[in-house]
C-alpha cells in the first residue's frame, strides 16, 4: 500500500536529520490564515461557554442515530463551538514575529487546518458555506449557491446527517503551510491537527448537549470545488454534523464510494500530493465497494497473565476546572516538576483517551504507556486495555534514556513522568477505501492526543504532543520493530514545573 510506503519514506533517521540540518527560509513561510478580501466579514458574538467538566463531555462511545430537524443553532452556540474548536487563545510575541496560538495544538504553531461551516439552520445567518477566521472571530461566506449546496449530502457518506443537522463543520488542510518546515513528514502532522480540532469541536458541542459525528468519506472533487479550494494546495479532510440527537431519526440510504486516485500539483512535496490524491473517493453505484471486511481483533491482554498486569482505579477524581478554562489555558508543557504522577491521574488520562470509537469505525489503534515516574507503577512499557481498565507490562525496566534518545533528545520527553504512545496496526485498517483509510487512523490519533491534552489541563497537569521521533527506535522500545505497526503520536505527561 502507498500508506506503508509513505510511512517508511518519512521515517526520521539520524542520517536524514544530518542531511536536512539546514535552516528555514523564513521569507518563504506561508501565512497561517486564508484571505477573502472581497468578502464582508460577519462578526460572531463574544464566545461564552458555561462551565462544563471534561468528565461530562468526554465519553461518546454511543452511535449517533441522527439529528432533530427542528433545531436551530443560535449565534452564541455557534460562536462558542468555533472558538473552542480553533479560536485564538493567546499570543506569543518574539523579536521578529508574533504567533497567534489557538485552542488546538499544532506542530511548530503552523496551523495547517482550515475551518469552514455549512450553516443549514443557524439564526441570523443565511444558508451557505462560510470560512471561519480565528484572527477576529468572524465568518466569510464562500458560497451561497443553493443549487450546488443542495447536492452536498449526496456526496458525503451518511449524508442524511448533514440534511438533518443545523450545523456542519468542514475541516480542510493546507499542505504547504506545514510542509514548508516539515517537508514530506508534514502530512502526518496535518492529519494529527485535524484530529485535534475535531475533538475540540466535539467537546464543545457536547457542552451544549448537542451530538456530533465525524464523516471522513466523501467525494473529494465535488467538495473541494464547492469550497473553491485550489486542490494542489488544500484538501478537505473531515465533516462534522452537529445538532440535537434524535433517537428516532431515520436516514436515507447511504452513499457508496470507490477509490478515485487523482493527480495533484502544488508547492508541497510530490510524495504528500501523491499520498493525498491517491486517497480520493468518488461515488459508486455498486454497494460492494463499501463493504468493509473487518478483521478479528485479537485481545492484547490475557487474564491468565495477571502477574504482569496492573488494574487501574475505577473511581476517578473530578476535574478541577471546566472545559472552556482548560481550552483557553492549554499550552504544550515544556518544563516538568520532579514530583511523581499518581496512578489515578494516569488512569484518568487513559480513560479519556479511549472514550470514543475510531473515525469511520476504524479500530486500528493501540495505546501504550512508557512509565518513568508513576506512583505504584514500576518503570517500563505497558499496553492499555480499555475494556478491562488495566495495563499489561510488555517490557520491564528503566528506559528513560532510550526514550529520550529516540525522541530526538527532547527534554520534554526525557523529563516527563509518563508517555502515552499511540500505535497503529495497519492490518486492522479497513481495506475497502484503499489509501483513504490511512487518514482515519491518523486523524483519530490526533483526537486521542487532544483528549489527553485537555484532560491533563483540566486537572492542572501538563501535556505535550510529540510527533518527531526516530520511528524505528521507538518501535524497538515497544518491541514492535517486526510487527508491521507504526508509531503515530506521543503525548508526554506529568506535573508542571512551578513558576
Q: Is 184 helix (H, G, I), strand (E, B) or coil?
A: helix
Closest CA relative to residue 395, chosen from 384, 405, 407, 382: 382
Give residue 344's pLDDT. 94
Report the candidate in 134, 105, 139 with the shortest Cα–Cα distance to residue 450: 105
In degrees and rounded to multiples of 5, residue 17 shows phi and psi of: -65, -35
Q: Residue 232 burial by CB count (10 A; 0-12/13-18/19+): exposed, middle or buried?
A: middle
- State the residue for C-alpha cell 505497526: 485
- Decide if pLDDT at 302 tops 60: no
Nearest of 27, 183, 202 to residue 108 by alpha carbon: 183
Q: Which residues pair with 98 in a beta bridge?
A: 93
Q: Quick one: what percent of the chain has pLDDT higher than 70?
A: 90
Residues of the chain with CATH 3.40.109.10: 2-12+29-290, 303-495
* H or E element at residue 186: helix 186-207
Beta bridge pairs of residue 309: 392
Q: What pTM value is reported for the model?
A: 0.94
Residue 179 has pLDDT above 80, yes or no: yes
Do 383 and 390 meet the contact criterion of CB atoms below 8 Å apart? Answer: no
What gap in Å lies between CA 278 and CA 281, rounded to an integer?
9
Which pLDDT belongs to residue 193?
Answer: 98
- When the candidates are 3.30.910.20, 3.40.109.10, 1.20.120.420, 3.40.50.300, the CATH number that belongs to 2-12+29-290 is 3.40.109.10
Q: What CATH class is the domain 303-495? A: alpha beta
Could you give the 3-state DSSP secondary structure of residue 256? Answer: coil
Whole-number Å distance between alpha carbons of 489 and 491: 7
Q: What is the pLDDT of residues 77-86, one digit of tens each?
A: 999 999 999 9
- pLDDT tens per residue across span 450-479: 999 999 998 999 999 999 999 999 999 999
3-state secondary structure of 180: helix
pLDDT at 122: 98
352, three cell numbers: 479519556
What pLDDT does 299 receive? 41
What share of the chain has pLDDT > 90, as a percent? 74
Q: How confident is the model at residue 287 (pLDDT cuts 50, 70, 90)?
A: low
Question: Which of these, 105, 184, 90, 198, lies nearest to 466 by C-alpha position?
Answer: 105
Interval 23-28 mean pLDDT: 89
φ, ψ of residue 180 to 5 degrees: the values are -50, -40
DSSP 8-state symbol, 109: G
The pLDDT, as a whole number, for residue 294 is 38
Amino acid at each position: 500500500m502507498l500508506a506503508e510506503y509513505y510511512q517508511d519514506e518519512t521515517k526520521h533517521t539520524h542520517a536524514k536529520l544530518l542531511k536536512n540540518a539546514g535552516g528555514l527560509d523564513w521569507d518563504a513561510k506561508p501565512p497561517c490564515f486564508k484571505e477573502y478580501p472581497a468578502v464582508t466579514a460577519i462578526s460572531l458574538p463574544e464566545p461564552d461557554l458555561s462551565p462544563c467538566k471534561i468528565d461530562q463531555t468526554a465519553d461518546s462511545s454511543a452511535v449517533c442515530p441522527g439529528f432533530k430537524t427542528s433545531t436551530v443553532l443560535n449565534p452564541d452556540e455557534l460562536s462558542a463551538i468555533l472558538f473552542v474548536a480553533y479560536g485564538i487563545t493567546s499570543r506569543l510575541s518574539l523579536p521578529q514575529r508574533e504567533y497567534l496560538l489557538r485552542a488546538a495544538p499544532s506542530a511548530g504553531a503552523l496551523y495547517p487546518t482550515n475551518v469552514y461551516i455549512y450553516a443549514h439552520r443557524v439564526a441570523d445567518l443565511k444558508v451557505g458555506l462560510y470560512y471561519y477566521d480565528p484572527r477576529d472571530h468572524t465568518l466569510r461566506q464562500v458560497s451561497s449557491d443553493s443549487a450546488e449546496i443542495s447536492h452536498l449530502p449526496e456526496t458525503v457518506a451518511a449524508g442524511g446527517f448533514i440534511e438533518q443537522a443545523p450545523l456542519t463543520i468542514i475541516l480542510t488542510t493546507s499542505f504547504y503551510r506545514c510542509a514548508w518546515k516539515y517537508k514530506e513528514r508534514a502530512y502526518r502532522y496535518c492529519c494529527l491537527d485535524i484530529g485535534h480540532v475535531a475533538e475540540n469541536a466535539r467537546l464543545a458541542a457536547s457542552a451544549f448537549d448537542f451530538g456530533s459525528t465525524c464523516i471522513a468519506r466523501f467525494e473529494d472533487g465535488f467538495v473541494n470545488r464547492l469550497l473553491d479550494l485550489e486542490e494542489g494546495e488544500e484538501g478537505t479532510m473531515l465533516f462534522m454534523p452537529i445538532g440535537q440527537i434524535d433517537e428516532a431519526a431515520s436516514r436515507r440510504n447511504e452513499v457508496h464510494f470507490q477509490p478515485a486516485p487523482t493527480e495533484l500539483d502544488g508547492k508541497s512535496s510530490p510524495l504528500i500530493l501523491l499520498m493525498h490524491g491517491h486517497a480520493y473517493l468518488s461515488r459508486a453505484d455498486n454497494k460492494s465497494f463499501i463493504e468493509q471486511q473487518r478483521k478479528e481483533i485479537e485481545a492484547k491482554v490475557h487474564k491468565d497473565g495477571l502477574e504482569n498486569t496492573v488494574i487501574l482505579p475505577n473511581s476517578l477524581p473530578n476535574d478541577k476546572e471546566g472545559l472552556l478554562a482548560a481550552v483557553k489555558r492549554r499550552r504544550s508543557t515544556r518544563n516538568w516538576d520532579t514530583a511523581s504522577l499518581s496512578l489515578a491521574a494516569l488512569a484518568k488520562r487513559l480513560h479519556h483517551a479511549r472514550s470514543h470509537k475510531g473515525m469511520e469505525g476504524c479500530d486500528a489503534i493501540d495505546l501504550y504507556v512508557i512509565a518513568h515516574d508513576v506512583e505504584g507503577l514500576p518503570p517500563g512499557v505497558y499496553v492499555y486495555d480499555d475494556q478491562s481498565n488495566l495495563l499489561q507490562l510488555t517490557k520491564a525496566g528503566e528506559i528513560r534514556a532510550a526514550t529520550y534518545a529516540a525522541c530526538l533528545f527532547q527534554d520534554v520527553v526525557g523529563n516527563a513522568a509518563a508517555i502515552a504512545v499511540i500505535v497503529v496496526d495497519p492490518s486492522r485498517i479497513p481495506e475497502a477505501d484503499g489509501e483513504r483509510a490511512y487518514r482515519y487512523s491518523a486523524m483519530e490519533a490526533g483526537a486521542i492526543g487532544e483528549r489527553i491534552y485537555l484532560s491533563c489541563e483540566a486537572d492542572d497537569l501538563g501535556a505535550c504532543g510529540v510527533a518527531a521521533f526516530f520511528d524505528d527506535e521507538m518501535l524497538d522500545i515497544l518491541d514492535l520493530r517486526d510487527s508491521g505497526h507504526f508509531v503515530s503520536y506521543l503525548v508526554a505527561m506529568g506535573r508542571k514545573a512551578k513558576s
